[in-house]
């Protein structure tokens, strides 16, 4: 991170939805980067420069700051913007209940209220009340940006919501938009099939499953996969492998990311290009390479853990997990109604009652699957034009794209819809790369133009009071 970026804290009430004079408070972490703020000509309303806000999602905020090169290296210098990255409550170091394992005040509505409070107060503190705010977010962060613009239009003037799967939480619109419980997984199948190795992957996973059925087989697999400790639960081990395979398409970027090589789906398939589809021992070895890329090798020179920690065997994508903030959110408002189609490398059939019971056992809560749609509208945001100035972008390599706003008719006044053929999860928020497809290069330029227009319009609306 650059020296100009600093981590700061903002005091928030524990519960925005309750008026209580004695209510506890907690410290929310946010990142501020003023490298370029005020470096451009001041707006005609006196503002030094716009505020570019990232609506942090399910993780430590530094990771989103580092991965969001479009905001940092393109928009901030071009617009003279102040970068503010908000960390979501109960993630990273923003812990309202001090890492107690309790998540009593975790919800999308509370997170949005935190962000509205942070932005409003920060603008006062920085003498920037006349400076427009544009929000950005990817994945659940894109959902947050969409809903922040919807619910707090006086706080943010527009938003770029990349790979925002809000439609997956809007089941009443699934039939009209061709969404099914298989939609997420079908994209995984399509991406590997187009790269030429899906059938080989299915055979290789089957070989692992057969070997894991005996003690000697489990010992051989533990050695082949370079595990620090031999695994005992065969089903958990197989899911650990398939979780990696299912996660890679969404990060199928043209440059190396984490431990994954560039174009990781292509790299995975290259391991399976030799004789007979490599469905025997060679296929197992190839899978071992894939898991080392995805999970990494620990300080002991081996793979530290190889087991499924999700409840109920793992909902495709990101099923609820015991003891984590996202696990709690999955058990309350963001549980995905996903299944695995027949003939895939594993079986999984959505069972609401079974998942509800698992969530109750883990957290003492049960999912409200229609809650986000109920208060936000879900697909109705586009159908009824309930807000303006939103850019929705999705890439077809990303399994989450099927839950996005994909129709050109979804475009809101002042906004746009981008559906990319060759991009992965929120790729337009990443730093530009020489290997980016031309469709992405063009779209980023349009996104910048739209964002600049929102800022100018917002500044003009407040110029008379300056």
Query: DSSP assignment of 248-282, as one string?
Result: GGGG--SS-BTTBPSSHHHHHHHTT-SGGGG-SHH
Q: Among the options 55, 139, 163, 222, which is catalytic?
A: 139
Instruction: Give the residue among 188, 110, 137 at the shortest CA–CA distance from 397.
Output: 188
Tens of pLDDT, residue by residue over 166-206, are: 999 999 999 999 999 999 999 999 999 999 999 999 999 99
DSSP letters, 282-298, are HHHHHHHHHHHHHH---
pLDDT range class, residue 463, cuts 50, 70, 90: confident
- Is there a catalytic annotation at residue 398? yes
Q: What average pLDDT does this structure show over 146-152?
A: 98
Q: What is the mean pLDDT of the chain?
A: 94
Tens of pLDDT, residue by residue over 373-390, are: 999 999 999 999 999 999
Q: Tell me what pLDDT residue 377 has.
A: 98
- Is there a catalytic annotation at residue 318? no
74 CB burial (10 A radius; 0-12, 13-18, 19+): middle
**Multiple choice CATH, 183-295, 3.40.605.10, 1.25.10.10, 1.20.120.980, 3.40.50.720:** 1.20.120.980
Q: Which residues contact 244 (CB under 8 A, 6 or more apart)?
A: 290, 291, 294, 295
Q: Give 107's Cβ-side CA count (13 Å radius).
A: 17
Q: How far is CA 67 from the centre of its chain?
A: 12
Q: Among the options 263, 336, 425, 426, which is catalytic?
A: 425
Q: Tell me what pLDDT residue 278 has.
A: 43
Q: What average pLDDT does this structure show over 10-16?
A: 97
pLDDT range class, residue 22, cuts 50, 70, 90: confident
Q: What average pLDDT does this structure show over 51-70?
A: 97
Domain boundaries, given as residue ranges, for the chain: 5-170+377-463, 183-295, 311-363
pLDDT at 274 over 90: no
Q: Tell me what pLDDT residue 464 has.
A: 60
Tens of pLDDT, residue by residue over 305-319, are: 898 778 777 899 987
Q: Tell me what pLDDT residue 19 has.
A: 84
Q: What percent of the chain has pLDDT over 90?
A: 89
Instruction: Give the residue among 212, 202, 230 at the shortest CA–CA distance from 342.
Output: 202
pLDDT at 281 over 70: no
pLDDT range class, residue 286, cuts 50, 70, 90: very high
Token pair in block for residue 286? 């190839």
Q: Among the options 282, 398, 428, 436, which is catalytic?
A: 398
Q: What average pLDDT does this structure show over 404-427?
A: 98
pLDDT range class, residue 277, cuts 50, 70, 90: very low
pLDDT at 279 over 60: no
Q: Tell me what pLDDT residue 193 has.
A: 98
- Binning the chain into helix, strand and coil, the percentages to the nearest 5 are 45, 10, 45
Q: What average pLDDT does this structure show over 235-260?
A: 95
Token pair in block for residue 337? 């109604």
pLDDT range class, residue 275, cuts 50, 70, 90: very low
Q: Tell me what pLDDT residue 462 has.
A: 86
357 CB burial (10 A radius; 0-12, 13-18, 19+): middle
Q: What average pLDDT does this structure show over 235-245?
A: 94
Q: Tell me what pLDDT residue 320 has.
A: 85
Q: What average pLDDT does this structure show over 131-149?
A: 98
CATH fold for domain 5-170+377-463: Rossmann fold (3.40.50)
- Is there a catalytic annotation at residue 154? no
SS3 227: strand
């Amino acid at each position: 991170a650059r020296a100009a970026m600093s981590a700061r804290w903002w005091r928030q009430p524990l519960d925005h939805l309750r008026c209580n004079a004695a209510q506890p408070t907690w410290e929310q972490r946010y990142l501020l980067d003023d490298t370029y703020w005020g470096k451009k000509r001041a707006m005609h309303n006196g503002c030094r420069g716009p505020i570019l806000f990232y609506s942090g999602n399910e993780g430590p905020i530094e990771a989103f700051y580092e991965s969001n090169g479009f905001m940092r290296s393109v928009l901030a210098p071009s617009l003279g913007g102040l970068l503010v990255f908000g960390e979501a409550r109960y993630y990273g170091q923003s812990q309202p209940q001090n890492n107690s394992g309790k998540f009593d005040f975790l919800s999308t509505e509370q997170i949005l209220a935190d962000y509205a409070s942070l932005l409003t107060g920060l603008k006062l503190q920085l003498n920037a009340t006349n400076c427009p705010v544009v929000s950005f977010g990817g994945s659940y962060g894109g959902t947050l940006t969409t809903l922040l613009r919807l619910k707090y239009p006086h706080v943010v003037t527009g938003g770029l919501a990349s790979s925002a799967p809000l439609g997956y939480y809007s089941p009443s619109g699934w039939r009209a938009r061709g969404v099914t419980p298989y939609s997420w997984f079908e994209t995984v199948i399509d991406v590997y099939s187009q790269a030429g190795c899906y059938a080989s992957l299915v055979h290789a996973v089957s070989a692992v499953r057969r070997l894991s059925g005996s003690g000697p087989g489990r010992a051989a697999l533990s050695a082949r996969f370079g595990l620090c400790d031999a695994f005992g639960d065969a089903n958990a081990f197989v899911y650990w492998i398939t979780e990696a395979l299912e996660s890679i398409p969404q990060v199928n970027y043209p440059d190396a990311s984490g431990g994954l090589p560039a174009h990781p789906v292509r790299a995975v398939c290259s391991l399976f290009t030799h004789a007979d589809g490599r469905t025997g021992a060679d296929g197992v070895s190839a899978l071992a390479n894939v898991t080392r890329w995805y999970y990494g090798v620990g300080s002991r020179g081996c793979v530290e853990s190889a087991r499924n920690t999700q409840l109920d065997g793992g909902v495709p994508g990101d099923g609820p997990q015991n003891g984590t903030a996202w696990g709690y959110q999955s058990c309350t408002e963001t549980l995905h109604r996903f299944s695995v189609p027949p003939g895939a490398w594993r079986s999984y059939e959505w069972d609401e009652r079974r998942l509800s019971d698992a969530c109750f056992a883990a957290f003492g809560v049960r999912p409200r699957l229609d809650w986000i749609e109920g208060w936000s509208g879900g697909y109705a945001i586009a159908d009824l034009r309930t807000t303006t100035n939103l850019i929705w972008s999705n890439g077809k390599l990303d399994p989450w794209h099927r839950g996005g706003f994909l129709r050109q008719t979804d475009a809101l006044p002042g906004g746009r819809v981008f559906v990319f053929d060759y991009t992965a999860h929120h790729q337009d928020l990443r730093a530009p790369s020489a290997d980016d497809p031309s469709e992405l290069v063009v779209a980023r330029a349009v996104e910048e133009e739209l964002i600049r227009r929102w800022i100018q319009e917002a500044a003009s609306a407040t110029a008379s009071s300056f």
